[in-house]
């Protein structure tokens, strides 16, 4: 029987108070795909893939989903490679997956490169075996049950001959479509409750050198009281924790710059009563990050306090504080403190889907607060 087998392996919990628990077995039946390949057209594939979901997944915090295993293309696919003189294959698989959670779903495209170039078998009955290994950072915003579900695959392959040169096929991309009607659940698990009460999570997308777009999560801890008096100075200073995804850590480590100094400027919108709206800019120096240069590359975390000017209102009524764009200034240094090749760069981070996090809702009243 042809298909794709997925097994979810859950690692041991490292944070017992925030540990998620797998509560169902993943699909134990083959998942069938049809791959379209040069020379031979539509072909089936089989694979054994392990999807590793950590037990310590907490809402609003980045977690790494690791995928590794072996993808087998049909013997006819291997014969096509031999016909063009290929003895090895270079390339990667990109796996479409979806994380379903209590608040919605998160589509993923997980890159799965070959840890070593597979060889083309000489036997006419042997499949073309492609080992895969990769991981992806994901932040699940809501606590509760969650699952990882398989989707289609995309293969980017470069067959090479015995001398290491590309064959006449060059580099090509093939799609592998998941046959509908199957149980494609790879893993089911629980996401633990989020950060402490009063914390507001903001999800941002930032454009970084070397890697392009990457997620950044900001945990705001607003200090605004529930009620303030007309004429009272209201401070909007807000402690924050900023979390950068692991791929940012990896990119900075690869250029030998594990020391990260950064600051940020947040656009803050105050919707006051009676049209007393304000647009403020809150700034913060973030704590220095001393990251590792070696695997693994966990998310990077830094802290600071957003300093914004105080505001006073002349009208009573409901009011709201929300956060908009974040502008980061980042200086990368080597371990000895010298400036690295990227020196200092700036990037603008936008709230995901344009949804500015609401930091506080409060009431402006007449008289004492």
- Please give the full DSSP string across 304-355, using - where no structure is assigned: EEEB---B--SS-EEEEEEEEEEEEEEEEE-TTS-EEEEEEEEEEEEEGGG-
Average pLDDT over residues 57-72: 82
Q: Quick one: 113 and 247 in the same domain? A: no
Q: Mean pLDDT throughout 229-245?
A: 91
Does residue 1 register a pLDDT over 70? Answer: no
| pLDDT top residue among 291 and 2 | 291
pLDDT of residue 85: 96
Q: What is the pLDDT of residue 82?
A: 95
Q: Does the pLDDT value for residue 87 go beyond 90?
A: yes
In this structure, are 38 and 152 located in the same domain? yes
Residues 164-192, mean pLDDT to the nearest whole number: 90
Same domain, 138 and 206: no
Task: Give SS3 for 83.
Answer: helix
- For tokens 């009955």, name the residue: 125
pLDDT of residue 275: 87
- Asked whether residue 30 falls in the same domain as residue 144, the answer is yes
Q: Are residues 224 and 311 in the same domain?
A: yes
Reported as a single tens digit per residue, the pLDDT across 113-151 is: 998 889 999 999 999 999 988 888 888 877 888 998 888
Q: Is the pLDDT of residue 21 over 60?
A: no
Residues 109 and 224 in one domain: no
Domain end position, chosen among 191, 221, 241: 191
Same domain, 173 and 35: yes
Where residue 199 falls among pLDDT bands split at 50, 70, 90?
confident
Of 310 and 31, more confident: 310
Q: What is the radius of gyration, based on Cα positions, of the chain?
A: 25
- For the chain, give the mean pLDDT: 85
Give the residue among 49, 51, 3, 9 at the shortest CA–CA distance from 29. 3
In this predicted structure, what is the pLDDT of residue 64? Answer: 85
CATH at 179: 2.60.40
Give the residue from 131, 166, 191 where a domain finishes: 191
Q: What is the pLDDT of residue 102?
A: 79
Structural domain of 214: 200-365
285, two tokens: 């120096």
- Measured between its terminal Cα atoms, the distance across the chain in Å is 72
Residue with the bigger pLDDT between 120 and 59: it is 120
- Based on the domain organization, do 205 and 186 belong to the same domain? no
Instruction: Specify the range with the lowest mean pLDDT, choosing from 31-45, 114-128, 177-191.
Output: 177-191
Distance in angstroms (rounded) separating the CA atoms of residues 357 and 5: 40
- Phi-psi group of 274: left, alpha or beta (phi > 0 → left; psi -120 to 50 → alpha; rest → beta): left
Q: What is the pLDDT of residue 156?
A: 94
Closest CA to 368 of 231, 275, 272: 231
pLDDT band at 194 (very low <50, low <70, confident <90, very high): low
Residues 265, 183, single domain; the answer is no
Q: H or E element: which one contains 78?
A: helix 75-83
Contact 215, 299 (CB under 8 A): no
Quick one: pLDDT at residue 296?
A: 63
Cis preceding linkage at 296, omega within 30: yes
Q: Please, is 59 exposed, middle or buried when counting C-beta atoms within 10 Å of its C-beta (0-12, 13-18, 19+)?
A: buried
> Could you give the number of structural domains in the chain?
2
| Letter string b/e over residues 199-210, b meaning 16 or more CB atoms within 10 A of that residue's CB | ebbbbbebebee
Q: Are residues 25 and 172 in the same domain?
A: yes
SS3 99: strand
* Residues 210 and 182 grouped into a single domain: no
Same-domain status, 218 and 136: no
The answer to whether residue 12 scores a pLDDT higher than 90 is no
SS3 116: coil
Of 160, 191, 222, which residue sits at a domain end? 191
């Amino acid at each position: 029987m042809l298909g794709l087998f997925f097994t979810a392996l859950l690692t041991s919990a490292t944070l017992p108070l925030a540990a998620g628990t797998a509560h169902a077995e993943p699909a134990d039946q083959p998942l069938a795909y049809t791959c379209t390949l040069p020379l031979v057209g539509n072909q089936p594939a089989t694979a054994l893939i392990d999807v590793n979901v950590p037990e310590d997944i907490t809402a609003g915090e980045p977690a790494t989903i690791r995928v590794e295993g072996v993808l087998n293309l049909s013997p006819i696919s291997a014969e096509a490679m031999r016909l063009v003189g290929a003895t090895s294959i270079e390339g990667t698989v990109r796996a479409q997956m979806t994380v379903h959670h209590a608040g919605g779903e998160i589509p993923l495209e997980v890159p799965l490169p070959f840890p070593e170039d597979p060889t083309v078998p000489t036997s006419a009955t042997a499949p073309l075996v492609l080992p895969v290994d990769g991981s992806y950072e994901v932040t699940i915003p809501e606590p509760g049950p969650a699952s990882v579900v398989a989707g289609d695959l995309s293969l980017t392959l470069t067959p090479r001959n015995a001398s290491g040169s590309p064959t006449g096929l060059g580099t090509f991309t093939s799609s592998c479509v998941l046959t509908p009607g199957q149980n494609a659940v790879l893993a089911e698990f629980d996401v633990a409750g989020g950060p402490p009460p009063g914390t507001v999570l903001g999800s941002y997308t930032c454009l970084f050198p070397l890697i392009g777009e990457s997620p950044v999560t900001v945990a705001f801890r607003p200090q605004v009281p529930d009620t303030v008096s007309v004429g009272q100075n209201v401070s909007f200073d807000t402690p924050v924790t900023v979390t950068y995804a692991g791929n940012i850590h990896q990119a900075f480590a690869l250029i030998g710059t594990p020391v990260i100094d950064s600051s940020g400027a947040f656009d803050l919108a105050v919707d006051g009563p009676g049209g007393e709206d304000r647009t403020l800019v809150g700034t913060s120096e973030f704590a220095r990050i001393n990251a590792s240069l070696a695997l693994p590359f966990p998310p990077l975390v830094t802290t600071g306090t957003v300093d914004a000017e105080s505001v006073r209102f002349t009208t009573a009524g409901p009011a709201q504080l929300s956060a908009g764009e974040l502008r980061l200034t980042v200086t990368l240094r080597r371990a000895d403190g010298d400036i690295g090749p990227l020196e200092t760069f700036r990037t603008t981070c936008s709230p995901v889907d344009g949804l500015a996090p609401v930091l506080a809702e409060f009431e402006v009243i007449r008289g004492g607060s």
